[in-house]
Structure 1
Amino acid sequence: MPRGPDAVDGSISPWHLLGAALRQWRELAGLTLTETAPKVPIDPSLLAKWERGTRRPAEDAMRRLDQALNAGGILFTMYGFALANETPRPSPAIAERWDAETMDALRRQLLLGGFAAAGSAASAPFQDGLERLRSVVDQTVGDPGIDDFEELVWEYSHAIVARSQVEVLGDLAADVLALQKTMNCVPPRETSRWLRVNARMTNLLAHTLGSTGYARESRHWWTTARRAAERTGDQDVQAAAYASEAVQALHEDRPAVLVLDRADKALALSGGRACVATVEALGARSHALTLAGDVAQACATLDEQVRVFERLPSAVTSDLLSAEGWPTFRLLYSRSLVFTLAGHPSADRAQEEALASYPVGRPRQRAQVELHCAYSEVRRGHIDDGLGHARRVLTGLGDNVTRFVHHMALGVANAVPEVANTRSSVVEYRDLLALPAGRN
């Protein structure tokens, strides 16, 4: 009589428990491995590994098996339980997928890609090969943990301030994808920390997309960022997503009513607490009110922003290097912007104070305030001087012009009276911004 398969010990891991249940349902159906595998379809040897608990099934395959074996959803529910309760520890059996042929193909991909990339930026095949190689190593040493990703978020919050955001965007998007893969197998006790990291990463990606000119993609990612924030259940995290979107929406010329909606939702969620979301939302609200012509309410909102700023923790106001800090120069920037757009009598003084507050190494942020100065000059009728100043600011930034800078530069162009649109200095400036002549 042939010997049957060894029993599976379901206590080893959730995947072993699922494998034992899978085998039991298959045998209750009176089917062999060979008869069951085509229903997925998969190779019978792979199905055997799933039953032994040495390989993790794919979600779609598990759903089809549940239906084929008439398990009534039990197997698929157990699959979800296994996903929710697995730990990041690797199983030596996972290495079975990396057979000699696969490893040889990966080796060739790395070598050929490496030669192609020599002396230049890494080629796409080489980068893909490196990522696949890292996944092999991670199966041996374990996937990155929550501490690793929390540090990664911290790094990106500094990178988008210090580096060209075009350079940051590709790396950030790749790591957001890596985060989603890792989150499939996190221990339940760490779920809240992973959800917060996910919310912060998607927030940074939405911001970076908008800053680099991907307005349409940015709008979709802000929707995702809000949903990611909601999953945390943390009102401060949710408020941060709404406030950040409100600020960026202003620079993408989205409707003022939408900006006010996002800012007001952020304020409702934060409850006026002294946090970055509150001061950021108040800044966005003041800006939107100015554009709507309600200067008195805009200035009152700025005063409220000052009161909240004075209650911020020192760790937040002393953070000069990351996107998550809110030092004095951000407060003074808000006042400079609103006073400039409103034609306030104290606009010049607000601009001077903002410029004096910036530390060394913040060219993009200083450039925006310099453009406030140019805007004021144009509004006074000093068109050539104002546009000349703006042109020098933009030229000095080179490729470091973000959406925020470009939007303010457009504002300078739009401040030119219609009767002056044919002046050579105006035409040259509009050409610099790639605008059609005479646009208002």
Structure 2
Amino acid sequence: MRSAAKVHYDGYLSRIARDLKTPSPQLARAVDSALGAEGRLAALRTVGEERSLEPGTREEDEDEMERRTLLQALAALGLPASPISEALRNIRISVHRTVGGGEDGHIDEWDEIVVEYGHLYVPTPPRRLLLDLASDLVTVQQIIKRKQQEDARRNRAHSTSAPWSRVAAELCALMAKTLSNLGRPREAREWWRTAQSAAEASGDTDLALWIAGGRLAHGLYERRPAAVLLARADKVLERVSDAPSRGLLHVRGVRAQLLAPAGDADEATAELQMCGEMSGTLPPSITSEVHSIAGWAEDRLRYIQAWVHAHLGEREQLDGAVEHAHRVVAAEARRFRAQFGLLQAFGHVRAGDVSGGVRLAHVVYSRQPVEHRTTMVTSLAEQVLEAVPLQRSGEQIVTDYRELLAGSGRKAIT
């Protein structure tokens, strides 16, 4: 304490002792003089300053700052990291590295996590899914950064982060879809771009196409201009081969959905037929999975058919597609089943059965839990109302349906 008083830095010295502050050159000289160290302490301060500039030290500091920023972002979403969780995380990482563990060993586990999200996407309320995705995206981002730093240190010619970029791309696409479902299209758009970049970095062309198709599909429900979306779909198709794939099928399916409302019946029907033919050439691993959004099973094809036939006013074909879909769509996939019901209601109104179509839409939408009234569901519900001819808009059944939408539409989703 007497030495601290001598140099007039007692409070400051306390913070330095606890590693909360770095000593200034003036303080180093003052302490050196007070203790009679003949320049040795001042020299140590200079050595410490040089070490702080060594390669890797500043990088580690930046990594730590970024990690804290990400943790703060998670806390803002309602996912706080407790001191105990942080301590356990640091201990686990240290032990994992000591025993020779690396990220490569559990890429398969993250692939499984992505598969699980594909199954959870439809039955899980978007808000809950968003929190889980945010947490996992932070973890994957940190892994990718460490892989990139390791590649740079070892001067590797080939990146070892490509498989992780694929995982990140799929998680980012799921985040984009979730934000879109929550009625936040602008934020979703940024995530779509990040997902696309990550897919391209991974070298997975089918995944990049699948993400492009997803972005187009959500643009439909966000009511983006059809001409803009159609031009983007055509641009995507110009750059790829016609080799059948899940991603190509996704883009072509959305293209059929874009053509039908525009009244281009011939081209929409031709695109729909092409989707059916391509679907038959894909492996069962893609076409037999009806419980996940990651594949392209019969339910997806039936949905494209229902959309096209509904917008073209082809009631008989529409009802057939919906009937086939109900046989394969899981009962817990309530959002997807609601979308089929609302498409059918829309098609019936378009075909002239206003009372029947609106009544069906009212039943479907009123039974949908608020947390599942996503942008996709509500957009279709609104389209049913918009299809009602002006001269019948004052009928009681239409008025009741309008009030249902006004009272519990997107505003109920927070």
Normalised-by-shorter TM-score class: 0.7 to 0.9
Amino acid at match of 2:91: V
How has the CA–CA distance of structure 1 residues 267 and 138 changed in structure 2, closer, same or farther, with 3 Å as cutoff?
A: farther
Greater displacement, 145-154 / 332-341 = 145-154
Normalised by the length of structure 1, the TM-score is 0.69
CA–CA separation in structure 2 for the residues paired with 1:435 and 1:418: 22
Query: 2:318 aligned with 1:347, yes or no?
Result: yes
**1:362 aligns to what?**
333
> Identity across aligned pairs (percent)?
30
Deviations 1:54-108 (A, max 9, x none): xx5234978xxxxxxxxxxxxxxxxxxxx9xxxxxxxxxx9xxxxxxxxxxxxxx
Q: Distance in 2 between matches of 1:423 and 1:307?
A: 43
Distance 1:221 1:258 in 2: 19
Paired letter, 1:420: R
In structure 1, C-alpha distance between the alignment counterparts of 2:121 and 2:382, rounded to whole Å: 23
Take 1:169 and 1:234, find their aligned partners in 2: how far apart are those partners? 24
Is the 1:33–1:48 contact (alpha carbons within 8 Å) kept by the matching residues of 2?
no
Distance between the aligned counterparts of 1:420 and 1:168, measured in 2? 40
2:89 match: 135
Match of 1:231 in 2: 201
Residues 424 and 235 of structure 1, relative CA distance in 2, 3 Å threshold: same
Q: Displacement of 1:50 after TM fit?
A: 7.7
Shift of 1:126: 5.3
Partner of 1:27: none
The residue aligned with 2:45 is 34
Q: What is the alpha-carbon distance in structure 2 between the residues aligned to residue 133 and residue 124 of structure 1?
A: 20
Alignment partner, residue 134 of structure 2: 173
Summarize the alignment of residues 49-88 of structure 1 with structure 2, pairs less than 5 Å apart. Answer: 57-59=57-59
Partner of 2:232: 262
Distance 1:208 1:125 in 2: 17
Q: Which residue in the other structure is 1:277 paired with?
A: 247
Aligned equivalent of 1:156: 117
**Structure 1: how far apart are the matches of 2:78 and 2:383?**
39
Equivalents in 2 of 1:268, 1:59: separation in Å?
Answer: 42
Aligned to 1:425: 397
Q: Deviation at 1:323?
A: 1.5
In structure 2, the gaps of 5 or more residues are 1-41, 65-76, 97-101, 152-158, 409-414
- 8 A contact 2:334–2:368 mirrored in 1: yes
8 A Cα contact 1:336 1:354, kept in partner: no
For 1:169, the aligned partner's letter is L
Residue 32 of structure 1 deviates from its aligned partner by: 4.7
Report SS of the residue matched to 1:296: helix
Q: Following TM superposition, by how much is the alpha carbon of 1:235 offset from its aligned partner in structure 2, in angstroms?
A: 2.2
Where structure 1 has 5 or more consecutive residues not aligned to the other structure, the ranges are 1-30, 38-43, 63-82, 84-93, 95-122
Instruction: Write the distance in 1 (CA, Å) between the matches of 2:90 and 2:180.
Output: 34
Q: What root-mean-square deviation, in Å, do the aligned CA atoms of Structure 1 and Structure 2 show? A: 3.0
Q: Take 2:141 and 2:394, find their aligned partners in 1: how far apart are those partners? A: 53
Structure 1 residue 194 corresponds to structure 2 residue 205: no
> CA offsets, 1:280-320, max 9 Å, x none?
11110001111222111000000110111010111111112
Query: How do residues 331-346 of structure 1 correspond to structure 2 at under 5 angstroms?
Result: 331-344=301-314, 346=317
